[in-house]
Amino acid sequence: MLALTGSIVLATGCAPAARSPATAKPHATSFSPARAGGPCASVKTTTPITDVPQACAELWAPYQVTEVPPADILEQEHVPLAPPVVNRTNGAVSDAEAQRWANASNRDSGWYKWAYAYTQPGLLLKLVGPALIPGVDEIALGNGAEILVPDCDLYPTSYQLFRIGEDGRTYFERKRLPTDDAYTFVVTFTGPCKVRTTYPDGHVTYRQAFAGPTVVFEPGALRSDRILGDLWFGDAGGGCDDPSGPPAEWCSR
């Protein structure tokens, strides 16, 4: 999922508002459970919820969306499978389950990307906790902006899975973040990476996500949603460059 980081850099420019194109990626994840053959089978592109079949609209209404994606949206986005997970739970979680969780994290990020690109803030809290929605993005979405989150801010290049011990809970507590997760991914993102926001009047801002390679934490838990599929629901975060003092084990090389 989109990483929780502390640095924000803004720049402005002008450009016409546009929908976000998909970026090519190999090894896409599987279709959504709401795939072809269901009540949304006729939805081939993202469509206003008022224009889809009634049964499809009823399926999506609980997700507080104003638009409905096609069932294969994650394949259209080319959401990748996660790289092989380095399992550091000492057998508490099987390698297969750890990989399932990592793939769920990438899947969650694909939905996050769609929600940002199509101005669907109502869907975000089905995907992540409030702490993982940057305030500047929340305001922008509330003002009708479309936000292009690039793949470099969504899909890590490496995954490690750790069990969260007392030192980890203390770390998140110091940051005033939720402490109820039992496991965290420690992942690496490449940089530089910037998030682009396009407002209804056409002006554009950029937020720097990463200036260079960055190690961040993705604590969470697996959730299986009847429409969205497997998700890694995260509600806290941090990184190895955090002065709050994360557990040394998570940042050892």
pLDDT in tens, 20-45: 333 334 443 444 444 556 899 999 99
Specify the pLDDT at position 186. 98
- Asked whether the predicted pLDDT for residue 244 surpasses 50, the reply is yes
Range scoring the smallest mean pLDDT among 23-27, 58-62, 218-222: 23-27
Q: Is 218 in contact with 1 (CB distance < 8 Å)?
A: yes
Domain ranges of the chain: 10-26+84-251
pLDDT band of 247, cuts 50, 70, 90 = very high
Mean pLDDT across 213-240? 96
pLDDT higher than threshold 70 for residue 219: yes
Mean pLDDT computed over 4-22: 37
- Given a cut of 80, is residue 14 above it in pLDDT? no
Task: Say what the pTM is.
Answer: 0.86
Are the CB atoms for 74 and 110 separated by under 8 Å? yes
What pLDDT, on a 0 to 100 scale, did the predictor assign at position 176? Answer: 94
Q: Is 233 exposed, middle or buried (0-12, 13-18, 19+ CB in 10 A)?
A: buried
Tell me the percentage of the chain whose pLDDT exceeds 70: 85
Q: What is the pLDDT of residue 105?
A: 98
pLDDT confidence band for 252 (50 / 70 / 90): confident
Residue 82 reports pLDDT greater than 60:
yes
Average pLDDT over all residues of the chain: 88
- Kindly state the percentage of the chain with pLDDT values over 90: 79
pLDDT score, position 5: 45
Mean pLDDT of 203-230: 94
**Residue range 172-189, pLDDT digits in tens:** 999 999 999 999 999 999
| pLDDT at residue 12, rounded to an integer | 36
Residue 89 has pLDDT above 90, yes or no: yes
Find residue 219's DSSP bridge partners. 184
d(CA 209, CA 4): 9
